[in-house]
Amino acid sequence: MASLSDDRDSGTLPPPSMSRSASTTFLLRKTLNWQRWALRLLLAALVVVVLLMAWQAAAALQWSLAAQRAANDLAAGMSWPAPLERTSLDLPTLRDPVALDRAIAAFEALPEPREDEAWVQWQLARAYTAKGALQSASIAYQQALDQTPSNSLIAWEAGLVKARLLVGGDEREPISITEFVAAGEVTSPAKIVGTPYCIEGNCYIGRKWLVMPLSDAPEGPPISTTLIFLHSPATLTQRIDVPAEQPVLTFLLGLDPIARDYGTDGVTFQLRVTAENGGPTREFDFAVTAEQLQTGWVAQAVDLTEWANQRVNLTIGSEPAEGSNGNLGDWVGWAALDFESPSSPRVAQIEKRQLRAMWADHDFTLDTLLTKADKATARKDYERAIEWLELGRVVYDIGTSGISYERWLMQKEKDAADSSLLGDAIASDAGWVNMMQRGDAMRAWGNVMRESGAFAAARDLYATAAAMYEQNSAPQGTIAATYNQLATAQSQVGDLEGAVSSLLRAVALTPDQPDLQLALGRALLASDATRLDEARAAFDTALAAEPADANYAKVVLEAWQSVGADAEMAAVCQRLPAEAKNEAVLTLCQR
């Protein structure tokens, strides 16, 4: 049996023969020894902590210095417009290609984990933009935005670069990899799942031919293709060679229509790309709502340019949406997996939808662009207005009518207007900053038609413009002036009653305009020589507004003379002040 002496032998207690004072000294010495060792350990730990902090500080300082050198090279390599000339549409341009390449190399060489990855990717994106490598710029912008999704400036610049990529087109046939991917390696749980889709006894994967429209165009033509059914949490992996010229992977995501009532509440589709040569690995998530899945196919695309001409492992799968109550009703899958050019029509449409959604998250919409164009037009900066409208055309598919009108305004400012641009402008309702501006174009084109003798066409244009102004609450003076032009055209085609009606409307809008009162009086007499009282009232109003204007007096006298109203002429001559009686007026009064 063990005795207490066993504990003493450990050196923690003094021997029993030791006196009390010696025992106290022994214990004190032992305690001091332990304190020394504890102090040494503490000091060693402090040294380690200090060294670690110094190492981290040195690494951070080294990173900051390297980042600053890269930023300096970037500032030397690219340029922006002068601060007072810079606008929201501007992106950096190339200044010094050597400095810019040095900056790109320096940013890419910054050690990971980078202190501020979003900032690094943002600077790389700007550098690639200045260099003209828009595809690389777009990828860098997206990676920056992934790090800081709330940064509206990054989102705006990313959208501008994406819009530039959308210009143009590539009609090459897509490279289909659907069947090849379907034959890949399936990873699925041992647990049996009850679905009607099974391949070789595995009911986590299957195929089915589906016919559905796109979810964002439910009234459009249906798309018929094979769905690769893949039930969560199963994944499908295949080795893929990414084509150098067509590196954008497009695909459709969908829910089997028979499962629309099974309670799906949305799905997050997942795509992972891993380079075989140790290159970058990235995961892409595509959150699709239940409403989208129950409406039709959801078209998506992912740009694999950074793996172009490389072999990668491509893994696809899905998981229930965040907050979902499960995945039993998520009978979803992938379809129409194709490699396409970044500028192909299908990629362009997908990219447009993604760009619109990204901008909408930051409150950038078509109205944002149109308002900017409207303000540019108001200050007669027509070139900038055209740029805003062109951006709207590329991203939101607006028409070119407004652009044609802006070009006409720009030429008119230089006294070199091409009237054919007005014809292009009024050809469609689409592409206008606002419908009142389209009314302006209608009036201008009406003037061209009237000057060429096409009075009926001019009449129709003025009538349409007046209606647009009325509907859009244009200034009353603008509406009245348009009705006056309409009345002139109506008179020229013999519609005298129509001219009277138009002038009555113009006078009702602006009763203090003597020119309109004169025009109304003349139109009344031309349409019916017996409407003397109405004509007299209009003439009297005009002369009362401008009693000393000899031209007004002459017009009134000639109007009365045209219907043989000598008494009315005499009454006018009698009331005219001396300053209104020039030679022409006196001649009329003496007849």
Using pLDDT thresholds of 50, 70 and 90, give the confidence band for residue 198.
confident
Listed residues 312, 331, 361: the one ending a domain? 361
pLDDT per position as a tens digit, 82-99: 887 888 999 999 999 999
106 within a domain of the structure (yes/no): yes
Taking alpha carbons only, the member of 328, 337, 363 closest to residue 232 is: 328
Bridge partners of 207, per DSSP, are 228
Token readout for 354 is: 């993604």
| Residue 91, pLDDT score | 93
Q: Looking at residue 5, what is its pLDDT?
A: 41
Whether residue 253 is found in the same domain as residue 278: yes
- Assign residue 205 the CATH number of its domain: 2.60.120.260
Give percent above pLDDT 90 in the chain.
Answer: 36
Per-residue pLDDT tens digits for 333-358: 999 999 998 878 888 888 898 899 99
Least confident of 61-65, 243-247, 281-285: 61-65
Q: Is the pLDDT of residue 572 over 70?
A: yes
Whole-number pLDDT of residue 175: 93
Q: Where are the alpha helices (DSSP H) in 379-434?
A: 382-396, 401-413, 420-425
Q: Are residues 150 and 267 in the same domain?
A: no
Does residue 279 sit in the same domain as residue 354?
A: yes
Last residue of a domain, one of 361, 380, 400: 361
pTM more than 0.85: no
Q: Which residue has the higher pLDDT, 244 or 403?
A: 244
Whether the predicted pLDDT of 154 surpasses 60: yes
In this structure, the answer to whether residues 268 and 306 fall within a common structural domain is yes
Percent of the chain with pLDDT over 70: 85
Task: Kindly report, residue by residue over 10-27, the tens digit of the pLDDT.
Answer: 445 555 555 555 556 655
Same domain, 138 and 212: no
Question: Containing domain of residue 94, as a range?
Answer: 67-166
404 Cβ neighbours under 8 A, 6+ residues apart = 421, 422, 424, 425
- pLDDT above 60: residue 1: no
pLDDT digits (tens, 9 = 90+) for 167-178: 766 678 899 999
pLDDT of res. 40: 66
pLDDT digits (tens, 9 = 90+) for 247-267: 999 999 999 999 888 888 889
The total number of structural domains in the chain stands at 2
- Which of 142, 111, 112 has the alpha carbon at shortest distance from 125? 142
Tell me: pLDDT of 185 over 80. yes
| Alpha carbon distances (Å) from 497 to 132, 437, 500, 503, 516 | 63, 29, 5, 10, 16
Q: Read off the pLDDT of each residue in 525-544 and give the average, rounded to a whole number.
A: 88
Boundary residue ending a domain (132, 166, 200): 166
CATH of the domain at 134: 1.25.40.10
- 251 with 347, same domain? yes
